Amino acid sequence: MGEFRTVTGASFAADVLSNQIPVVVEYWAEWCGPCRQVAPVLAALAADYAGQLDVVKVNVDENPEISQRYGILHVPTISLFSGGEVVRQVVGVRSRAALEREFAGFLS
């Protein structure tokens, strides 16, 4: 399982909003222990749904404008974007099964 692509304010529109496939965005911070717990779960989803789903990370400390735009108050927050819109969002650590249930309509 590799690293996630990190998106910034400069790349968010192209990498997330204009993406032709659903995108899972993890809002995280370096100091966030639960963010480290959820990373392997997201890596597994990225690997298993490669080509059907992109998984990216947004560092909230380095990109506060994105966090503010989407009302992110807690990390980790995991949002699913489809067609440039947030269609699902969960806050906190979730198991793989829980995320798959939450995102079921968007995973093939």
Domain coordinates in residue numbering, the chain: 5-93
Question: Band of the pLDDT at 7, cuts 50, 70, 90?
Answer: very high
What lies within 8 Å, CB to CB, of 107 at 6+ separation is 22, 49, 52, 53, 100
- Length of the chain counted residue by residue: 108
Give the predicted TM-score (pTM) of the model: 0.94
Please give the single-letter amino acid code of residue 88.
Answer: R
| pLDDT tens profile 48-91 | 999 999 999 999 999 999 999 999 999 999 999 999 999 999 99
Strand intervals (E) in the chain: 5-6, 23-28, 54-59, 77-82, 85-91
Q: Domain spanning 5-93 has what CATH number?
A: 3.40.30.10
- The residues annotated as belonging to the active site are 32, 35
pLDDT at 1: 42
